Amino acid sequence: MAGAGSKQSELFLTNVARASLAELLEDYKDFLNVHGYAGWDIDSRESRFVRGLCRKNNGSYENYREFIETRPANVVANIIIVLIHETGFLLDKQVSALEEKFLEDGGLKEKMSRMRIEARKMGGKRGK
């Protein structure tokens, strides 16, 4: 929402979100390591199962509620790690799309400059 006015701001904020997600990922990995728990391999049966849940009902929490609220901490941490990876993947796609859009359309200042130039060409009588 904060980036709605400017693709440049949206791109910056999406990258901030991506960096925050990377920090959260490290926190969950640290939790597993400190407590001597194993992390799931990306291609493990469990990881694939969680990724499959992501595709149901637009990834609603309801898809995960049973597993997160009833499993031991190490399983929940691994579920969250898979979800962080999935979210990171989606954010990376968002960043790529924003970069492409920014390259095509420019930023807010460029759009405003084009509008000013057009207004001058029309004699400053926009919308009348």
Tokens of 23: 């920090």
pLDDT of residue 124: 60
pTM comes to: 0.75
Residue 104 confidence class, pLDDT cut points 50, 70, 90: confident
CA 61 from centre of chain: 16
Higher pLDDT, 112 or 63: 63
Q: Average pLDDT for residues 72-82, to the nearest whole number?
A: 97
Cβ contact 96:26 at 8 Å: no
Q: Could you report the per-residue pLDDT of 4-16, keeping only the tens digit for each?
A: 557 778 888 999 9
Tokens of 97: 């799309």
pLDDT for residue 33 is more than 70:
yes
* 29: Cβ contacts below 8 Å, ≥ 6 apart: 39, 81
pLDDT, the chain, mean? 86
Higher pLDDT, 78 or 53: 78
pLDDT for residue 1 is more than 70:
no
Number of H helices, E strands in the chain: 5, 0
Assign 3-class secondary structure to 29-56: HHHHHHCCCCCCCCCCHHHHHHHHHHCC
- Conformational region of residue 36, where left means phi above 0, alpha means psi within -120 to 50, and beta covers everything else: left
pLDDT for residue 116 is more than 80:
no
Q: What share of the chain is helix, strand, coil (3-state, %, to 5)?
A: 75, 0, 25
pLDDT of residue 31: 98
